[in-house]
Amino acid sequence: MIVVCGEVLIDLVPDDATGERWTAIPGGSPANAAVAVARLGVRSALLARLSGDTFGQRLRRHLEGNDVDLSLAVAADEQSSLAIAFLGETGAASYRFDIEGTADWQWSTDELPTTLPDDVQAVMAGSLALALQPGGRVLEGFLASSRHGHTIFVDPNVRPTVSDDLDEVRTAVDRWCLVADVLKASSDDVDVLYPGTDPEVAAKRWQGLGPSVVIVTLGAAGALAVTASGTHRLPAPPTVVVDTVAAGDTFSAGFLASLHEAGALGGRLDELDDATLTSALRYGLRAAAITCSRAGANPPWRSEMQ
């Protein structure tokens, strides 16, 4: 099983270019990743704070309908978080967030499990849940305490519209490198944190702080991964892009699902061989390409990956 920690929120997405009608869609980067893991045939659980409001009930139905285990989820009194999505001409999404005092960020230590089920092999976290306080530091402590027997995967998914203190974000990402076995970022993350820096240079810097694998996704150019053995680059498979919503989340899910199938999860990845790494990168890119070929957060099922 793969446990994903983080937010589950409602995306308000425009129905058309006029912006006169909007649709409420279940979302949140970690929730999207948990759904993608489950659709790819690997058991997934979401460690999240789920509101009991109308949106929260819809989110719960969505997750359960996609076979995401919610036994670790916490019933929260606060309202659900909202992300208002804006789609550019190329289909790329940007967001404005309504998250003040909402359910996802209010973690306390006693809400988190002291031990994880025996069948958990990896823990994935990131996005806003790690970045926003008061819950972010609580989740950091949980990741640190979960390292024994579990592979830790962190996706910063930097949101400059939420935190404009980039020095603080840079410091946080460096700190997350101390607990992560895999750090996955996007070229957009690199551009925000280190403008003008080559993604490979940023990846090598992060890898030197602790992770066995640092991945930077490059959009249409594919992805690169830096390990102790060097830099590995793979192109993206050709696809017609409808939008990029949940593409990065799906890549992460595909990468972890492939490592799960290879029996590589469950601890440090220092001995991960290049063939297994390359296969996982290719699987993640294929899954992301399928997601980009259709509207919204709609990751592929395992049967579509053949």
Structure confidence at residue 92 as a pLDDT band (50, 70, 90): low
pLDDT at 97: 87
How sure is the predictor about 296, in pLDDT bands with cuts at 50, 70 and 90?
confident
* CB-neighbour burial class of residue 123 (10 A; exposed 0-12, middle 13-18, buried 19+): buried
Torsion of the alpha carbons at 187, 123, 78 and 83, rounded to the nearest 10: 20
pLDDT at 225: 98
pLDDT at 15: 77
- Residue 22 confidence (pLDDT): 86
Angle, in degrees to the nearest 10, between helices 54-65 and 29-39: 20
Using one digit for the tens of pLDDT, what is the confidence trace for 213-266? Answer: 999 999 999 999 999 999 999 999 999 999 888 999 999 999 999 999 999 999
Assessment of whether the complete model's pTM goes beyond 0.85? yes
Residue 91 has a pLDDT of 60
pLDDT at 67 over 90: yes
Proportion of the chain above pLDDT 90, given as a percent: 84
- Structurally, the chain folds into a number of domains equal to 1
**pLDDT given at position 95:** 74
- Region label for 44, one of left (φ > 0), alpha (ψ between -120 and 50) or beta (otherwise): beta
Mean pLDDT of the chain: 94
Predicted pLDDT of residue 149:
95
> Of 8-12, 28-32, 223-227, where does mean pLDDT reach its minimum?
8-12
Residue 90's pLDDT is: 66
Q: Is the pLDDT of residue 23 over 70?
A: yes
Report the CATH number at residue 179: 3.40.1190.20
pLDDT at 93: 66
Mean pLDDT of 275-298: 96
Which whole-number Å values give the CA distances from 123 to 17, 36, 139, 193, 208, in the listed order? Answer: 38, 15, 11, 25, 21
pLDDT digit string, tens, across residues 114-147:
999 999 999 999 889 999 999 999 999 999 999 9
Distance between CA 156 and CA 176 in Å, rounded?
9
DSSP per residue, 219-238: GGG-EEEEETTEEEEEPPPP
Percent of the chain with pLDDT over 70: 96
Task: Select from 227, 212, 139, 217 the least CA-distant residue to 178.
Answer: 212
Residues 164-170: what's their mean pLDDT?
A: 90
Cα–Cα distance measured from residue 203 to residue 206, given in angstroms and rounded to the nearest whole number: 5
Write down the pLDDT at residue 121: 98
Domain hosting 134: range is: 2-305
In angstroms, the CA 90 to CA 230 distance is: 33
Residue 303 has pLDDT above 80, yes or no: yes
CB 28 within 8 A of CB 9: yes
Query: How does residue 89 score in pLDDT terms, banded at 50, 70 and 90?
Result: low
